[in-house]
Amino acid sequence: MAAYEIIEPKVDLRKKIKVLPNDKAGFDPIARAEQAMKQLAVNFNLWMDEEVSELQKAWQTVSTDGMDENNLKELFRAAHDIKGQGQTMGFPIAGTIAGSLCDLLEAVTDPQFLPSALLQKHVQAITAVVKEDAREEDNVIGKALAKELLAVSGEVISRFEKAQATQTEPESSDA
């Protein structure tokens, strides 16, 4: 008896694709996608401005209403959007800094261990990178800023993990 089962798809996806006629045999989908991206690129600044605005709103909520679970989730979501879109929209440094903020919010699950000043510095750095149109990955100031925020975030995460490990260690018994 076979140790596997063959599942036949309900829909044949081959019926869904468009077959190009022979005169379009030289069609380059990568070049076409790059051309489409260039056409969309004129909107990237506006879109990134909107993403930064969402991040700032989320930070404002955290700073005024506190670091409760929902507020931190909104801050994470806004940072995660920038992390994912930064490279595509031509702001890789903003994406890197947003990634650092996401890592921090994901790893440090106890808000007592989250330094609000560090969260704020991430938001300010992302805002500055986008506002100053620092698009180059080798932008000296942006790169240094991202490196420093990554390092400090790493230290906070490390301290949190050590504190958690200390709390979960079993009590030693003197028998």
Residue pLDDT, tens place only, 1-53 = 567 788 777 777 777 777 666 555 566 778 777 776 666 656 667 788 899 99
Residue pLDDT, tens place only, 55-112 = 999 999 999 999 999 999 999 999 999 999 888 888 999 999 999 999 999 999 999 9
Kindly list the structural domains of the chain, giving each domain's residue range(s) and its CATH number in brackets, ordered by start. Answer: 43-166 (1.20.120.160)
CA distances to 47, 117, 155 from 33, rounded to whole Å, are 19, 41, 41
pTM as predicted: 0.73
Residues sharing a CB contact under 8 Å with residue 59, sequence separation 6 or more, in sequence order:
75, 119, 120, 123
